[in-house]
Amino acid sequence: MRPGNLSTRLNVNLGETVLVGKIVREFGQWHGIPEDALFVVNLSLDELVTNIVTHSQKQPPPPKEIVLRLSTVKDEVRAEVEDDGCAFNPLTMPVPDVDAPLHERDPGGLGIHLVRSLMDSVNYQRVGTRNRLTISKKVA
Amino acid sequence: MTFNIETQPGLSIACLGGHVDTLNAGELENTLVALADTGENQLLVDCTTLEYINSAGLRVFLLVAKRKEATGGKCAFCGLTTNVRLVFETIGFDRILTVYESRAAALAQMQPLSQAAA
Protein backbone atom coordinates (compact mmCIF):
# COMPACT_ATOMS: atom_id res chain seq x y z
CA MET A 1 0.00 0.00 0.00
CA ARG A 2 1.04 3.56 -0.61
CA PRO A 3 1.22 5.49 2.70
CA GLY A 4 -1.08 8.47 3.02
CA ASN A 5 -3.99 10.09 4.75
CA LEU A 6 -7.16 12.00 4.11
CA SER A 7 -9.47 14.05 6.29
CA THR A 8 -12.88 15.40 5.36
CA ARG A 9 -16.07 16.74 6.91
CA LEU A 10 -19.50 15.21 6.43
CA ASN A 11 -22.93 16.62 7.11
CA VAL A 12 -25.12 14.83 9.60
CA ASN A 13 -27.57 13.03 7.31
CA LEU A 14 -27.92 9.53 5.92
CA GLY A 15 -27.26 10.67 2.36
CA GLU A 16 -23.64 11.16 3.39
CA THR A 17 -23.17 7.39 3.74
CA VAL A 18 -23.16 7.21 -0.07
CA LEU A 19 -20.41 9.81 -0.11
CA VAL A 20 -18.45 7.81 2.50
CA GLY A 21 -18.55 4.83 0.13
CA LYS A 22 -17.18 6.93 -2.74
CA ILE A 23 -14.44 8.51 -0.61
CA VAL A 24 -13.29 5.16 0.81
CA ARG A 25 -13.24 3.52 -2.65
CA GLU A 26 -11.23 6.36 -4.20
CA PHE A 27 -8.83 6.50 -1.25
CA GLY A 28 -8.44 2.73 -1.46
CA GLN A 29 -7.71 2.75 -5.18
CA TRP A 30 -5.22 5.58 -4.86
CA HIS A 31 -3.37 3.93 -1.96
CA GLY A 32 -3.54 0.34 -3.21
CA ILE A 33 -5.74 -1.06 -0.45
CA PRO A 34 -6.67 -4.66 -1.32
CA GLU A 35 -10.30 -5.23 -2.28
CA ASP A 36 -11.24 -7.39 0.73
CA ALA A 37 -9.88 -4.86 3.25
CA LEU A 38 -11.50 -2.02 1.35
CA PHE A 39 -14.90 -3.68 1.54
CA VAL A 40 -14.82 -4.23 5.32
CA VAL A 41 -13.48 -0.72 6.02
CA ASN A 42 -16.16 0.76 3.77
CA LEU A 43 -18.90 -1.29 5.43
CA SER A 44 -17.66 -0.39 8.93
CA LEU A 45 -17.57 3.33 8.18
CA ASP A 46 -21.02 3.12 6.60
CA GLU A 47 -22.33 1.50 9.80
CA LEU A 48 -20.61 3.99 12.10
CA VAL A 49 -21.81 7.07 10.21
CA THR A 50 -25.34 5.60 10.00
CA ASN A 51 -25.21 5.02 13.77
CA ILE A 52 -24.21 8.62 14.48
CA VAL A 53 -26.97 10.03 12.27
CA THR A 54 -29.76 7.78 13.56
CA HIS A 55 -28.66 8.08 17.19
CA SER A 56 -28.48 11.87 16.94
CA GLN A 57 -32.20 11.99 16.11
CA LYS A 58 -33.01 10.21 19.37
CA GLN A 59 -30.81 12.26 21.67
CA PRO A 60 -30.70 16.03 21.09
CA PRO A 61 -28.83 18.26 20.62
CA PRO A 62 -27.71 16.70 17.33
CA PRO A 63 -24.08 16.86 16.19
CA LYS A 64 -23.32 19.55 13.61
CA GLU A 65 -20.62 17.68 11.79
CA ILE A 66 -18.88 14.37 11.35
CA VAL A 67 -15.16 14.23 10.61
CA LEU A 68 -13.83 11.26 8.68
CA ARG A 69 -10.11 10.45 8.63
CA LEU A 70 -8.48 7.66 6.66
CA SER A 71 -4.87 6.55 6.65
CA THR A 72 -2.64 3.79 5.41
CA VAL A 73 0.39 2.99 7.59
CA LYS A 74 2.66 0.11 6.56
CA ASP A 75 0.34 -2.92 6.51
CA GLU A 76 -2.64 -1.31 8.20
CA VAL A 77 -5.66 0.75 7.19
CA ARG A 78 -6.89 3.06 9.92
CA ALA A 79 -9.98 5.21 10.06
CA GLU A 80 -11.51 7.63 12.53
CA VAL A 81 -15.06 8.89 12.72
CA GLU A 82 -15.58 11.88 14.98
CA ASP A 83 -18.75 13.81 15.80
CA ASP A 84 -19.61 16.70 18.09
CA GLY A 85 -22.83 15.20 19.48
CA CYS A 86 -23.48 14.22 23.08
CA ALA A 87 -21.42 11.38 24.53
CA PHE A 88 -22.36 8.07 22.93
CA ASN A 89 -20.29 4.91 22.92
CA PRO A 90 -21.85 2.43 20.47
CA LEU A 91 -19.53 -0.29 21.80
CA THR A 92 -21.66 -0.43 24.96
CA MET A 93 -24.71 -1.53 22.94
CA PRO A 94 -25.74 -5.14 23.60
CA VAL A 95 -24.15 -7.77 21.36
CA PRO A 96 -26.73 -9.69 19.29
CA ASP A 97 -26.96 -13.43 19.94
CA VAL A 98 -25.71 -14.74 16.60
CA ASP A 99 -26.39 -18.33 17.65
CA ALA A 100 -30.10 -17.84 18.35
CA PRO A 101 -32.54 -19.65 16.04
CA LEU A 102 -34.36 -17.65 13.36
CA HIS A 103 -37.58 -16.96 15.25
CA GLU A 104 -35.63 -15.64 18.24
CA ARG A 105 -33.25 -13.42 16.30
CA ASP A 106 -33.70 -9.74 17.02
CA PRO A 107 -32.76 -7.59 14.03
CA GLY A 108 -31.14 -4.87 16.19
CA GLY A 109 -27.46 -4.27 16.86
CA LEU A 110 -26.21 -5.92 13.67
CA GLY A 111 -24.26 -2.90 12.43
CA ILE A 112 -21.96 -2.44 15.39
CA HIS A 113 -21.54 -6.20 15.64
CA LEU A 114 -20.29 -6.24 12.04
CA VAL A 115 -17.80 -3.46 12.81
CA ARG A 116 -16.46 -5.25 15.90
CA SER A 117 -16.15 -8.57 14.08
CA LEU A 118 -14.68 -7.37 10.80
CA MET A 119 -12.11 -4.93 12.19
CA ASP A 120 -8.92 -5.88 14.04
CA SER A 121 -9.46 -3.10 16.55
CA VAL A 122 -12.29 -0.72 17.43
CA ASN A 123 -11.85 1.95 20.08
CA TYR A 124 -14.07 4.67 21.46
CA GLN A 125 -12.81 7.86 23.10
CA ARG A 126 -14.62 10.91 24.34
CA VAL A 127 -12.28 13.76 23.39
CA GLY A 128 -13.49 17.04 24.86
CA THR A 129 -16.95 17.53 23.37
CA ARG A 130 -16.46 14.94 20.63
CA ASN A 131 -17.01 11.22 20.16
CA ARG A 132 -14.14 9.52 18.36
CA LEU A 133 -14.24 5.96 17.06
CA THR A 134 -11.00 4.55 15.73
CA ILE A 135 -10.92 1.37 13.68
CA SER A 136 -8.07 -0.51 12.06
CA LYS A 137 -7.60 -3.41 9.71
CA LYS A 138 -4.37 -5.24 8.97
CA VAL A 139 -3.73 -5.98 5.33
CA ALA A 140 -2.14 -9.30 4.41
CA MET B 1 -30.17 -1.39 -6.22
CA THR B 2 -31.90 -3.49 -8.86
CA PHE B 3 -34.86 -5.73 -8.14
CA ASN B 4 -36.57 -8.13 -10.53
CA ILE B 5 -39.21 -10.71 -9.82
CA GLU B 6 -39.61 -14.04 -11.59
CA THR B 7 -42.39 -16.48 -10.90
CA GLN B 8 -42.36 -20.26 -11.25
CA PRO B 9 -45.04 -22.65 -10.02
CA GLY B 10 -44.94 -22.47 -6.22
CA LEU B 11 -41.82 -20.32 -6.25
CA SER B 12 -41.19 -16.57 -6.37
CA ILE B 13 -37.64 -15.49 -7.22
CA ALA B 14 -36.40 -12.01 -6.30
CA CYS B 15 -33.20 -11.08 -8.15
CA LEU B 16 -31.45 -8.47 -6.07
CA GLY B 17 -28.45 -6.59 -7.44
CA GLY B 18 -26.16 -3.62 -6.84
CA HIS B 19 -25.92 -1.88 -3.49
CA VAL B 20 -28.34 -2.24 -0.59
CA ASP B 21 -27.70 0.46 1.99
CA THR B 22 -29.41 2.52 4.68
CA LEU B 23 -31.06 4.76 2.08
CA ASN B 24 -32.77 2.07 0.00
CA ALA B 25 -33.33 -0.63 2.66
CA GLY B 26 -36.83 0.73 3.31
CA GLU B 27 -37.73 0.33 -0.35
CA LEU B 28 -36.31 -3.21 -0.31
CA GLU B 29 -38.34 -4.00 2.79
CA ASN B 30 -41.60 -2.86 1.19
CA THR B 31 -40.93 -4.80 -2.00
CA LEU B 32 -39.74 -8.02 -0.36
CA VAL B 33 -42.46 -8.05 2.29
CA ALA B 34 -45.10 -7.55 -0.41
CA LEU B 35 -43.61 -10.43 -2.40
CA ALA B 36 -43.43 -12.63 0.72
CA ASP B 37 -47.09 -11.93 1.48
CA THR B 38 -48.63 -12.11 -1.98
CA GLY B 39 -46.17 -14.28 -3.91
CA GLU B 40 -45.78 -18.01 -4.07
CA ASN B 41 -45.34 -20.20 -1.00
CA GLN B 42 -41.57 -20.38 -1.53
CA LEU B 43 -39.38 -17.30 -1.87
CA LEU B 44 -35.86 -17.37 -3.26
CA VAL B 45 -33.70 -14.24 -3.02
CA ASP B 46 -31.05 -14.50 -5.73
CA CYS B 47 -28.04 -12.39 -4.67
CA THR B 48 -25.76 -13.26 -7.63
CA THR B 49 -25.36 -9.60 -8.62
CA LEU B 50 -25.59 -8.13 -5.11
CA GLU B 51 -22.29 -6.32 -4.54
CA TYR B 52 -22.90 -4.59 -1.23
CA ILE B 53 -25.25 -4.90 1.73
CA ASN B 54 -25.08 -3.27 5.15
CA SER B 55 -26.92 -4.00 8.39
CA ALA B 56 -30.03 -2.14 7.24
CA GLY B 57 -30.40 -4.58 4.33
CA LEU B 58 -29.49 -7.62 6.45
CA ARG B 59 -32.23 -6.62 8.88
CA VAL B 60 -34.70 -6.79 5.98
CA PHE B 61 -33.49 -10.30 5.04
CA LEU B 62 -34.01 -11.48 8.62
CA LEU B 63 -37.43 -9.88 8.86
CA VAL B 64 -38.64 -11.35 5.56
CA ALA B 65 -37.34 -14.86 6.32
CA LYS B 66 -39.06 -14.81 9.72
CA ARG B 67 -42.30 -13.55 8.19
CA LYS B 68 -42.28 -16.17 5.45
CA GLU B 69 -41.62 -19.03 7.87
CA ALA B 70 -44.19 -17.76 10.36
CA THR B 71 -46.86 -18.18 7.67
CA GLY B 72 -45.72 -21.70 6.75
CA GLY B 73 -43.75 -20.70 3.66
CA LYS B 74 -40.10 -21.16 2.81
CA CYS B 75 -37.46 -18.52 2.25
CA ALA B 76 -33.96 -19.09 0.87
CA PHE B 77 -31.01 -17.08 -0.45
CA CYS B 78 -28.58 -18.03 -3.20
CA GLY B 79 -25.55 -16.88 -5.15
CA LEU B 80 -23.85 -14.87 -2.42
CA THR B 81 -20.78 -12.98 -3.64
CA THR B 82 -17.60 -13.15 -1.52
CA ASN B 83 -18.39 -9.91 0.32
CA VAL B 84 -22.03 -10.74 1.01
CA ARG B 85 -21.06 -14.24 2.16
CA LEU B 86 -18.58 -12.72 4.61
CA VAL B 87 -21.23 -10.54 6.27
CA PHE B 88 -23.71 -13.45 6.34
CA GLU B 89 -21.15 -15.59 8.16
CA THR B 90 -20.10 -12.79 10.50
CA ILE B 91 -23.60 -12.34 11.88
CA GLY B 92 -24.48 -16.04 11.80
CA PHE B 93 -27.06 -15.77 8.99
CA ASP B 94 -25.49 -18.77 7.24
CA ARG B 95 -26.70 -20.84 10.22
CA ILE B 96 -30.24 -19.51 10.59
CA LEU B 97 -31.17 -18.78 6.97
CA THR B 98 -31.29 -21.28 4.13
CA VAL B 99 -28.42 -20.45 1.79
CA TYR B 100 -27.62 -22.19 -1.52
CA GLU B 101 -24.39 -21.87 -3.45
CA SER B 102 -26.07 -20.93 -6.72
CA ARG B 103 -29.47 -20.53 -8.28
CA ALA B 104 -29.12 -23.97 -9.87
CA ALA B 105 -28.45 -25.53 -6.46
CA ALA B 106 -31.44 -23.67 -4.98
CA LEU B 107 -33.77 -24.74 -7.78
CA ALA B 108 -32.65 -28.36 -7.44
CA GLN B 109 -33.91 -28.25 -3.86
CA MET B 110 -36.92 -25.99 -4.25
CA GLN B 111 -38.35 -27.00 -7.63
CA PRO B 112 -39.22 -30.59 -6.74
CA LEU B 113 -41.24 -29.19 -3.84
CA SER B 114 -43.06 -26.72 -6.03
CA GLN B 115 -43.78 -29.40 -8.62
CA ALA B 116 -45.12 -31.68 -5.91
CA ALA B 117 -47.32 -28.85 -4.66
CA ALA B 118 -48.60 -27.98 -8.15
pLDDT digits 0-9 by tens, B64-73: 999 999 999 9
Domain with residue B16: its CATH number is 3.30.750.24
Determine, yes or no, domain membership for B104: yes
Neighbours of A26 (CB within 10 A): 11
CB B43 within 8 A of CB B75: yes
CB contact under 8 A, B23 and A99: no
Q: Name B43's bridge partners.
A: B12, B75
Nearest to B74 by CA among B44, B100, B33: B44
Could you tell me the pLDDT band of residue A102, with boundaries at 50, 70 and 90?
Answer: confident
In chain A, where the domains are located? 5-138
Interhelix angle B55-70/A110-118, nearest 10 degrees: 120
Question: Between chain A and chain B, how many beta carbons pairs sit less than 8 Å apart?
Answer: 74
Domain housing B12: 2-110
Q: CB-CB: which of A105, A113, A118 is closest to B96? A: A105
With an 8 Å Cβ cutoff, the interface of chain B facing chain A consists of 19, 21-23, 52, 54-56, 58-59, 62-63, 65-66, 69-70, 82-83, 86-87, 90-92, 95-97
> What is the ipTM for the molecules in this complex?
0.91
pLDDT > 60? residue B114? no
- pTM comes to 0.93
How many domains does chain B contain in total? 1
DSSP letter (8 states) at residue A40? H
Q: Give me the pLDDT at residue A50, please.
A: 94
Are B40 and B74 contacting, i.e. CB atoms less than 8 angstroms apart?
A: no
What pLDDT is recorded for position B115? 61
Q: Which CATH number fits domain A5-138: 3.30.565.10, 3.30.70.580, 3.40.630.40, 2.40.50.660?
A: 3.30.565.10
> Chain B residues with CB inside 8 Å of A36's CB?
82-83
pLDDT of residue A14: 93
Closest CA to A93 of A72, A113, A120: A113
pLDDT digits (tens, 9 = 90+) for B10-60: 999 999 999 999 999 999 999 999 999 999 999 999 999 999 999 999 999
Side-by-side strand order, sheet with A4-10: A4-10, A66-73, A76-83, A130-138, A121-127
